[in-house]
């Protein structure tokens, strides 16, 4: 964790790697989760396109739109004062050329107030990362399991092509990415990539040897309603707490126990 009084920057992420200090990133999509993540002292808050699945109940991240990412990114950016806020570039904007990608990331930066963007891609998107970085926009790469390519990859599965993974991660870093997310990559491969890159790797389902870790908040706090990946550790059971609270309130209303005297105005 860096100085709690000032904003985490790309320089802090680079210093964390140099000092071998693990960095933390968690998703948030709204005001309360943004505030909670920031208060917990995480380094980065990711407004992921996972919002489409976690919040909107879609079966993949593909339906997330630029306007939706900007809507959620703006709310989270106002809620977070210390962590670096990173907003995902939604599909397929990184595949439509450098100009479209820079225009879209420019909108994200201007309209949300975030500090960085993230995009999924292979070595084929290196020119796009370079263009965004050249525009002065901090950009994170995302390689391995790329959920936006779920149909091409044949499902949400471990990615094992070592040469491909290494080439994709190195291409992102060489193009100017300030960090590279490694998703569902064997831990030995993640360790090798982490050693070879000068920028931090942030892993999800990639084992303990990355420079940092990222999780989807709703998985971490036990609020996800869909399938939770095996690599997740749930630190709370918020779904049960909310369900219990709602059921108790309903029973109290039905048995005239709510509202009580102290809960009645006038």
**Binding flag, residue 211, ligand KIV (CB under 6 A):** no
Instruction: Return the range that interacts with ligand KIV (CB under 6 A); candidates 48-56, 70-78, 191-199, 240-248.
Output: 48-56
Pairing of strands 179-183, 139-144: parallel
Region 113-132 residues binding ligand KIV, contact defined as CB under 6 A:
none
Q: List, in sequence order, the alpha helices (H) in the chain.
A: 10-18, 31-39, 51-54, 66-79, 98-112, 126-134, 150-153, 162-175, 187-196, 217-220, 238-254
Q: Scanning residues 138 to 167, which ones bind ligand KIV (CB under 6 A)?
A: 142
Indicate whether 168 belongs to the interface with ligand KIV (CB under 6 A): no
Q: Report CA-CA distances (Å) from 229 to 117, 144, 204.
A: 24, 15, 10
Question: Would you count residue 109 as binding ligand KIV (CB under 6 A)?
Answer: no
The answer to whether residue 50 forms part of the interface with ligand KIV (CB under 6 A) is yes
Out of 43, 49, 74, 168, the only residue in the binding site for ligand KIV (CB under 6 A) is 49
Element housing 144 (H / E): strand 139-144
Handedness of CA 125, 66, 96, 128 (dihedral sign): negative
Active-site residue, selected from the candidate residues 74, 170, 183, 254? 183
Does position 89 interact with ligand KIV (CB under 6 A)? The reply is no
Going residue by residue from 226 to 265, which x/- string records binding to ligand KIV, judged by CB under 6 A? ----------------------------------------
Residues contacting 120, CB < 8 A, separation 6+: 91, 94, 142, 143, 146, 147, 148, 149
Specify whether 74 is catalytic. Answer: no
The residues, ordered by sequence, that sit 6+ positions from 160 with a Cβ below 8 Å of its Cβ are: 186, 189
Judged by CB under 6 A, which of 70, 181, 182, 189 binds ligand KIV? 181
Instruction: Note the residues at the interface with ligand KIV (CB under 6 A).
Output: 27, 46, 48-50, 61, 88, 142, 181, 204, 214, 216
What residues are annotated to the active site? 183
């Amino acid at each position: 964790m860096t100085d709690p009084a000032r904003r985490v920057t790309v320089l802090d992420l680079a210093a964390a790697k140099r000092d071998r200090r693990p960095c933390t990133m968690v998703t948030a999509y709204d005001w309360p989760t943004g505030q909670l993540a920031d208060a917990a002292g995480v380094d980065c808050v990711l407004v992921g396109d996972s919002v489409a699945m976690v919040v909107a109940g879609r079966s993949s991240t593909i339906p997330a739109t630029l306007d939706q990412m900007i809507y959620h990114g703006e709310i989270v950016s106002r809620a977070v004062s210390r962590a670096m806020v990173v907003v995902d570039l939604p599909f397929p904007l990184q595949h439509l050329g450098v100009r479209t990608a820079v225009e879209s990331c420019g909108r994200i930066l201007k309209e949300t107030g975030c500090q960085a963007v993230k995009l999924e891609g292979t070595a084929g998107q290196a020119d796009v990362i370079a263009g965004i970085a050249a525009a002065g926009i901090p950009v994170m790469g995302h390689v391995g399991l790329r959920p936006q390519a779920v149909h091409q990859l044949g499902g949400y599965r471990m990615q094992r092509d070592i040469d491909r993974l290494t080439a994709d991660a190195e291409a992102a870093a060489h193009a100017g990415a300030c960090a590279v997310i490694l998703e569902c990559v064997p831990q030995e491969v993640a360790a090798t990539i982490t050693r070879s890159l000068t920028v931090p790797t942030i892993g999800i389902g990639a084992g303990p040897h990355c420079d940092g870790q990222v999780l989807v908040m709703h998985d971490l706090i036990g609020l996800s309603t869909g399938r939770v990946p095996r690599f997740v550790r749930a630190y709370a059971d918020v779904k049960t707490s909310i369900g219990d609270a709602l059921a108790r309130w309903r029973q109290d209303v039905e048995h005239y126990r709510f509202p009580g005297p102290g809960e009645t105005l006038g």
